[in-house]
Structure 1
Amino acid sequence: MDEPVVYKRCGCSAQDRACPDLADEGHGSWYFSIQVLGPNGRKGRVRRGGFHSAEHAMHAARELAAADVLGAVSAACTMAQWLRHWLTTLQPIRERTRQGYADHVRIHLIPGLGRILLAELGPVDLRRFFAGLAQRRNRYGKVLSPSTVQRVHATLRAALNEAIREGLIDTNPARRLRLPRTRRPHAQVWTRSRQATGQRPAVAVWTTEHLTEFLDYVRADTLYPLWWLAALRGLRRGELAGLRWADISLETRELTVVQQLIHINGQLRVVPPKSEASQRTIALDTEAVRLLRRHQQRQHLQGLDTAGWVFTRADGQPIRPDYLTYRFRYLVAASGLPPVRLHDLRHGAASTALAAHVDLRTVQGQLGHASIVLTSDTYTSVLPELHHEAAEATARLVLTTARRTGHRLRKRTLQLQRRPSNRPPR
């Protein structure tokens, strides 16, 4: 095994490891790089950072190297041995889930817990590990989010549950571990007052005016039909990248989501949609049909296969989903509009549909959610115009009722005044 390499970097500029300020003690953090056995038994290079000193980085690297030993799994095996075995024996699961498990094992769990024996792993070890994980920084220099820590915990629980089923341990020490609760960020609309603060929400949504400006700006872009579908129909980037002409009927104005493209281990792979509910048929508006028809004619003139992928590179090969993210980010920055993520267009698609008075159940089917609660809680950030419509509707109801009630009260008062009194005069 190679000797670990320790180095310092900051990430504050394009120079990074060549930054002249790295000589300052408080600038940047320490990293290590080492070759270890991967989940498939092959060697791969692991890099970890965020350490306060070169000594801490070297110590962590040598701990990882010491745990990097293959052996038969038993109650006496190390966590590194068990986690690798667990990854190789997983039941069929989604590729994205498998990759997430493998990343958590390689980046976090083996470096942090790999040397501990499976049978001796206890709550104290886990509290210490997750306390350190909550302070660790990612490759961009940001502290790991609570949701990332929760996902690493979920991976560990799954691995230890399997060890129980194998009869290697009796209880799962990660089961009762308490971690900071995470809150799903609520999507916020880029109103003028929010733009003036200069603070970007975790999940941001354009107003209808913003969306109109963006679509007008990208009208000449070759992927304009894709941006239209993402913004108005709420397709995921993998669904858009995996779309084939066979999945679209321009005559009936329908699009069927039956697959998606993902980029994993350096390769593009066709996989089923995210969930069973994600396999859905989406109605297309007239403008979408017109844009897709022109896009198909353009492909035909370029000599591309108009029976294959809908959105392609210049050579006719499918587009990587992450390229769509980069391209969208570039176009948003160039347009001068408030920043949003590509996935945030799903939020916007739901909100825009609600603003157009589409019922929630229809929006649920459009987005491909199994639960209408998920649609309501996550993707239906209410646009400002809906707030104003609700306020006006409420006021109209109250004022109308008040006028009607006031008329009845005045009429009753006049009747009482005109009615002769039976009281004797004083």
Structure 2
Amino acid sequence: MEKTCPKLTQRAHGSWYYSIELPPNPDGSRRPRAKKGGFRTQEDAAGAAEKVWKAAQNGINVLSKETVEEYLRRWLKKKKHDLAVTTHHEYTRDAELYFIPHLGKLQMRHLHTRSIQAMYDWIVEDNERREEHRAKTDKLGEEARAAYETWTATPQDQKELRTELRARWWDLRRQHTEARKKVQRVTGPATMRSINATLSSALADAVDEELIAKNYATMVSLPKVTKPKGLVWTDERVARWKRTGKKPSPVMVWTTEQTAQFLDAVSGDRLFPLWHLVVFRGLRRGEAAAITWHEIDLKKSVLHVTEQLVTVSYEVHDATPKADSVRDIKLDSQAVALLKAWRKTQQAERETWEEENAWIDSGGRVFTHENGKEYHPQVFTDRWDRLVELSGLPPIRLHDARHGAGSQAFAAGVAPKVIQQMLGHSSLRMTMDTYTSIMPTLEDAAAEAAVVLVEKARKKAAKVAGKPKKDKKGPEKGPKGKAAGKKLGPA
């Protein structure tokens, strides 16, 4: 009766099953037979058996029932001692936020490209929902501000109207506050590729374990990554920022004049030597926090970058920089002078705190608190942001100052290879790609600055030339005592 049997829905009645012999193990020993039942027709059982056989022929362990979640947790545990702390943290985060919720219940042998692609398609759709919610939240904020201005502008004698307007403002403010709690950052193309790199690493090991036939993470389609274009804070962009409060690009760089203004504004800050190194030598914050005195040769004016501090959930860890980031940086004379003065300050602070037995030995760190405790890298970021705000200059991130160091070096005519070495870039191409968008503006600014200097010199020279010169010796005398320049007769 096959499909027409009324008892077919009962699991133990009228169903088909397959039992197939699998290819032998690499050592020649036999594997257990693959068995499964509950198929309604013979064709269904035969089709399923054929898929299992093909998978086994491709080297897949078809007897494994391990799920994606089980595999990922096992893989992360195995990788814990092989990866850098930050890398393992990122892999774990990706697994918990994306792979386990979307793919975790699948058995590894059933994982395929379409399953992974469906996860990324969902992320793209979720991004649209997040952007829509953010737009609604921003609109609520604008309406709340407008309602507040309307309320405060209403005359005091119109009490009933003011009460009504105040209630409307308060309601909009409450809605805006609640909406802001649900605002989420979108998962951008670069983040999606980073996530996929994590999955690809995990699946590469799964292929080696014969859990899957291919690394399906390498076969998905992802949104194209558009790298943020670095821009210089020109006068026009500064004016627009003052009007709107919005940065034209996530990556912004100061002009030479703006950089000078910032350094003047923070010259009295305790960490001024650090800001000098960041602005002129492009140190990363983790590198700056990790510098020790034995890695600085003040006589030869060289800073050896061999260590960095990284943070995982705000917890600080020592780490070795990537190969290209381990480098020697030549220090300018002002940096050397600042570091010498800083060392004297630190030594004086140490003597003071040791009198109270309160000095904290940080292993010779250069930049420490007054009591010797090493700085958390985030302190540098927070302090930088605050100083930029107080300076009144357009905002740049601490990492943008690193871009500024490279840009200023380019503008000064320093060879690209030297800049690559200074910044610790992995390739010269990376250095050039980073600054090609910034250079024209800086070159224009430098050209204009040169013209201004020359024009000032010309005006000064012209002003001096226009003044009558006073000769202490009096007018020059001509023949027979007559004044020079007076018309004489024939010789």
TM-score (norm 1): 0.70
**C-alpha distance in 2 between matches for 1:307 and 1:125:** 50
Is the deviation greater in 376-385 or in 130-139?
Answer: 130-139
SS of 2:287's equivalent?
Answer: helix
TM-superposed CA distance for 1:392, in Å, is 12
Residue correspondence of structure 1 range 315-394 to structure 2 within 5 A: 315-379=371-435, 381-382=438-439, 384-387=441-444
Give 2:66's aligned residue.
77
Give 1:116's aligned residue.
106
**C-alpha distance in 2 between matches for 1:351 and 1:151:** 27
**C-alpha distance in 2 between matches for 1:115 and 1:352:** 53
Which of the residues 174, 199, 202 maps onto 2:217? Answer: 174
Residue correspondence of structure 1 range 50-89 to structure 2 within 5 A: 75-89=64-78
Could you say if the C-alpha distance between residues 340 and 75 of structure 1 is closer, same or farther in structure 2, counting changes exceeding 3 Å? farther
Could you say if the C-alpha distance between residues 353 and 227 of structure 1 is closer, same or farther in structure 2, counting changes exceeding 3 Å? same
Deviations along 1:165-224, one digit per CA (max 9) or x if unpaired, are: 111111122221011110222211111112233341121111111111111111111111
Could you say which structure has the higher helix fraction? 2
1:291 equivalenced with 2:338 (yes/no): yes
Is the deviation greater in 196-205 or in 149-158?
Answer: 196-205
CA contact (8 A) 2:324 2:424 kept: yes
Residue correspondence of structure 1 range 384-423 to structure 2 within 5 A: 384-387=441-444
Give 1:267's aligned residue.
315
Could you say if the C-alpha distance between residues 109 and 315 of structure 1 is closer, same or farther in structure 2, counting changes exceeding 3 Å? farther
Is the deviation greater in 286-295 or in 139-148?
Answer: 139-148
Q: Which amino acid aligns with 1:96?
A: T
**C-alpha distance in 2 between matches for 1:266 and 1:345:** 22
Residue correspondence of structure 1 range 159-198 to structure 2 within 5 A: 159-198=202-241
TM-superposed CA distance for 1:159, in Å, is 0.9
Give 1:239's aligned residue.
287
CA contact (8 A) 2:303 2:331 kept: yes
TM-superposed CA distance for 1:387, in Å, is 3.3
Could you say if the C-alpha distance between residues 306 and 283 of structure 1 is closer, same or farther in structure 2, counting changes exceeding 3 Å? farther
Could you say if the C-alpha distance between residues 377 and 385 of structure 1 is closer, same or farther in structure 2, counting changes exceeding 3 Å? closer
Q: Which amino acid aligns with 1:267?
A: E
Give 1:256's aligned residue.
304
CA contact (8 A) 1:352 1:383 kept: no
TM-superposed CA distance for 1:385, in Å, is 4.0
**C-alpha distance in 2 between matches for 1:332 and 1:292:** 22
Q: Which amino acid aligns with 2:328?
A: T
**C-alpha distance in 1 between matches for 2:93 and 2:391:** 35
Give 2:152's aligned residue.
none
Give 1:92's aligned residue.
82
**C-alpha distance in 2 between matches for 1:122 and 1:110:** 15
SS of 2:311's equivalent?
Answer: strand
TM-superposed CA distance for 1:155, in Å, is 0.8
The structure whose Rg is larger is 2
1:155 equivalenced with 2:155 (yes/no): no
**C-alpha distance in 2 between matches for 1:360 and 1:110:** 44
TM-superposed CA distance for 1:282, in Å, is 0.7
**C-alpha distance in 2 between matches for 1:323 and 1:105:** 29
1:280 equivalenced with 2:280 (yes/no): no
How big is the alpha-carbon RMSD for the aligned residues of Structure 1 and Structure 2?
2.4
Give 1:106's aligned residue.
96
**C-alpha distance in 2 between matches for 1:243 and 1:370:** 21
Give ranges in structure 2 of 5+ residues lacking alignment: 1-61, 132-181, 351-358, 451-491
SS of 1:89's equivalent?
Answer: helix
CA contact (8 A) 2:346 2:370 kept: no
TM-superposed CA distance for 1:230, in Å, is 0.7
TM-superposed CA distance for 1:141, in Å, is 2.1
Give ranges in structure 1 of 5+ residues lacking alignment: 1-72, 394-426
SS of 2:219's equivalent?
Answer: coil
TM-superposed CA distance for 1:124, in Å, is 2.7
